Amino acid sequence: ESAAFEVKTNYPQDRPLKFKHSGRTMTCVPVVAANMDTVGTFEMARAFAKHHCLVAIHKHYTVDAWTAFVAESPDAAQYVAASMGTSESDKKKTDAILAACPEVTTICIDVANGYSEFFVDAVRETRAKWPTHTIIAGNVVTNEMTEELIMNGADVVKVGIGPGSVCTTRKQTGVGYPQVSAVVECADAAHGLGGHIVSDGGITCPGDAAKAFGAGADFIMLGGMFSGTDESAGDVVVKDDGRKVKLFYGMSSSVAMNKHAGGVAEYRSSEGKAVEVPCKGPVDGVILDMLGGLRSACTYVGASSLKELPKRTTFIRVMQQLNTVFGTVDLSKKK
C-alpha cells in the first residue's frame, strides 16, 4: 500500500517529447484545450500554463490581441499553439502572428476533413515556411493518412472524426471512426515514423483520458470538459430557475458559422450543435480532477509515467462500465 501511495504522489505529470521535424523538445502535461472559440482562449491559456498544460488558441484572435497576450503572459506562450485553416487569409494571418510573437513555436493546422491533397499541400508549405516550428495537423483517423501527414511535415497528427460532444458529423454524413480504434491505429503508424498523435474528442471524464493515453495517444485534446468554466468565452446566462449556464457549440455548427463566416453555405450542412453548459467555476478544478484521475490510473496498472501507460494497458470489451443504480449525477461535484 505504501509503495502504491508513493507512485501516486510522486507520479511525474510532465512528459518530455522530442518532435521529428521541428527538432524541438517540449516538456509538458500533454493535455490540450481544443481550438474552439469557446475554450481555446487566452484566459484558458493563462490558467493551463500554471499546470504546464497546453491550449490550441482559436484562429479568430487578431494579431494585436496575440502580441498583447504574449507581452502580458510570456510564460504562457510556450504552452500555446496558433491555429489556422488552409485559406490564404488564414495563412497570412498566422504568418503575421508567428513573426510578431517569436515565443510561440507551435502551429495547429486544423480542418474537419484531413483527407485531401490540398490539406497535405498546406502542411508541406507551412513546414517549408516555418522549419523549426512544431506542427500539429488534422483531423484524420487512419494509418495511411497519419503517415502521409508526417512524411509531409507534421510533427503531431490530430486524430478524430465525429467523437466530440458537440460534433454531429457522424449523424449528418455517416462518416466517422470509433475513437479508441482510431487512436490505436494512428499511434502505431505515427510512432513507426518518429511522429506523435493527439487524440481529439470523445473524452467525457478522467477515465476516458486514461484510455486515450493507454491506446497510444501522446496528447489528448478536449473541448466539452473545459466548457462552462470561468475561463471559457461567452456570457453567463441565468435561467428562470436560477441556474447559471454558458453556451457551448461546435465550430462547424450554424452558431459558429453565423458568427465567423456569415452563415452556413448553401452547398453544405451544419456538422455541429449548440448546447447550454452549467457554469463550473475556475478551470483549475477540472484540470486537477483530470490529473488526479490519470495519476490513479497509472498507479492501478503499474505505469510509472504516461509514456509507459500503453505498455500496461489491456482493453476489454464490455456492455456497461458504470453502476448507475443511483443515476449519473454526483451531488458532491455539483456547484
Positions marked catalytic = 167, 169
CB 206 within 8 A of CB 294: yes
The C-alpha angle 326, 330, 335, rounded to 5 degrees, equals 150
**What is the residue whose three cell numbers read 461535484?**
333
Overall size of the chain counted in residues? 335
Helix pair angle (143-151, 179-192), 10° resolution: 40
In whole angstroms, give the CA distance from residue 39 to residue 37. 6
Contacts of 58 (CB under 8 A, 6+ apart): 35, 36, 37, 40, 41, 83, 251
CB 30 within 8 A of CB 15: yes
CB 156 within 8 A of CB 123: no
CA distances from 168 to 56, 173, 254, 268 (A): 21, 8, 11, 13
